Amino acid sequence: MILWALGLQVDSIAIGFGGDDAAGHTKVTGSDEHLSEFDRIVISEAGLEAQEVFEAPTHDHAGLADYANIIDILGDISEEESLKIRTAARERAREIILANRTKVARLAEYLIENGRISGFAFLELMGIG
């Protein structure tokens, strides 16, 4: 949802790899290189924020790859500055999730039932296709 809201074209979304309900991926067509560093951090914060918004925690290791991505994006800055940026990014992710809450819930229901959605089906589900 966040990728789409930030203007990226969703190619596919899948959940539940290897029996781990928290494992999944979203593939996009093209690159996110044109996005600001902040928006790329928003994307990485979104999954963990969605867990809180929808009161659907997974496990302690969920989001580790996202945290690693954030560290790579932020580079060598102070912990204080890092926390400030990450907090703002998480708040932005929450805003996008809440603004699209019905669509996120519809997408979650589809993924729970089917495990995967194509970009075309995603756009149809969002009311665009």
For the stretch 80-120, pLDDT in tens is 999 999 999 999 999 999 999 999 889 989 988 998 999 99
Instruction: Delineate the domains of the chain, giving CATH numbers in brackets.
Output: 2-125 (1.20.58.760)
**Amino acid type, 57:** P
Q: Kind and range of the H or E element at 14? A: strand 9-15
- Residues 32-89 have pLDDT tens digits of 889 999 999 999 999 888 888 888 777 767 778 888 999 999 999 999 999 999 999 9
